[in-house]
Amino acid sequence: MLPWTALSLALSLRLALARSGAERGPPASAPQGDLLFLLDSSASVSHYEFSRVREFLGQLAAPLPLGPEALRASLVHVGSWPHTEFPFNQHSSGAAVQDAIRAATQRMGDTNTGLALAYAKEQLFAEEAGARPGVPKVLVWVTDGGSSDPMGPPMQELKDLGVTIFIVSTGRGNLLELSAAASAPAEKHLHFVDVDDLHIIAQELRGSILDAMQPQHLHASEVTSSGFRLAWPPLLTADSGYYVLELAPSAKPVTARRQQLPGNTTGWAWTGLDPDTDYDVALVPESNVRLVRPQHLRVRTLPEEAGPERIVISHARPRSLRVSWAPALGPAAALGYHVQFGPLRGGAAQRVEVPAGRNSTTLQGLAPGTAYLVTVTAAFRSGRERALSAKACTPDGERSRAPRPPPPGSGGREP
């Protein structure tokens, strides 16, 4: 009886394990994606800071599930010209990537971050660099906060392509500029930390990177006050079915919007939404081959983008004056401002660009005794603008005066 009893117990145990596995579902597959490290290697970074950041990136990468069919990593230097330390298809393990990062040498030169970001965009979508189509893309930029060239447009292009941007600043960066540059929400994608304390954020940042690359996962990015972008991994093909994408305000589910998309689609952008509102999203794969479960997500749009307020004119001189305003703050902070001014009675208008983080500028080259229309416009990540205008007047210049008579005793003669 004992052999039969043992066999019966073994069969029962196998059945229980099989049932437990069926309840849990199939095992989760390893995340897939392309991860690009953008390292400030310019002369604005000391050799000590560079070595500490290099060590941090190595420790960040080592535990990641890197491999040909999982995550792939690449390292690009920021300098006078961007430089690839290694492409996505060169190293196939976390240890190999860590060793390659530790072997990187500082390039020096200018901090041309905008040029490096444009180069990174090419690398993230170039198959010859080992990048793969249809997988999540993540960029981790470690910086001392400065840039010698504009970085806003290329950073926005990356986010428009669905790239998730994480920024680690060693403490000297502009909060508003970097918050606008990082993916939303900034509190999850932007870290300010001293170069000697980078290890503190390693585990959290690593988890966020894995979340951004998790397969079978519907996620939102580029959240603004009027819309957001959705992305998901390829669950179908063009021949195996199609998707139905549903969107509805959480408080009014009966007002749902629906969009049918081909089976080879992996993203969609919803626009024209209400600010500061919760939306429920459902992705329903309609497959003619196998059952694919729907995916659900709740996304909250940002508050309304508020433009500049309370323009103040001060320090008025015959040929210059100062313009100040209350800046557009909050989650939908402005990417920057431009100030346009011209004579009220007609004439050519001029324009001055003001970066994010500043809320005043001095207008030069004005005409004395002239009324001007001054317009301050805030530009936002969504592409929208908010403007406020005010009138400003320059005082009259000093009139020419008759020469003073010579002082007594000078003889009254001119030289």
The answer to whether 361 and 343 are in contact (CB under 8 A) is: no
The percentage of residues in the chain with a pLDDT greater than 70, rounded to a whole number, is: 85
pLDDT at 413: 47
- HEC assignment per residue over 94-130: HHHHHHHHHCCCCCCCCCCHHHHHHHHHHHHCCHHHC
Determine the pLDDT at residue 15: 40
**Which tens digit of pLDDT belongs to each residue from 112-140?**
888 899 888 888 888 888 888 767 889 99
Confidence of residue 404 (pLDDT cuts 50, 70, 90): low
pLDDT category at 410 given cuts 50, 70, 90 is: low
CA pair distance 91, 135, nearest whole angstrom: 18
**What is the C-alpha separation between 303 and 276, in angstroms, rounded?**
4
pLDDT at 66 over 80: yes
- List beta partners, residue 73: 35
CB-based contact 366:372 (threshold 8 Å): yes
Residue 7: its pLDDT value, please? 41
Distances (CA, A) of 84 to 36, 43, 60, 90, 118: 10, 17, 19, 11, 13
The pLDDT tens digits for 275-323 are: 889 999 999 999 998 888 899 999 988 777 777 878 999 999 999 999 9
Q: What average pLDDT does the chain have? A: 82
Cα separation, 371 vs 394, in Å, equals 7
Count of CA atoms in the C-beta half-sphere (13 A) of 210: 16
Handedness of CA 187, 190, 194, 197 (dihedral sign): positive
Q: Using the predicted structure, report yes or no on whether residue 381 has a pLDDT greater than 80.
A: no
Average pLDDT over residues 208-232: 80
Cα dihedral 153, 389, 374, 225 in deg (nearest 10): -10
Q: CA dist 98 to 11, 102, 329, 348, Å? A: 46, 6, 39, 57
Q: What pLDDT score was predicted for residue 277?
A: 92
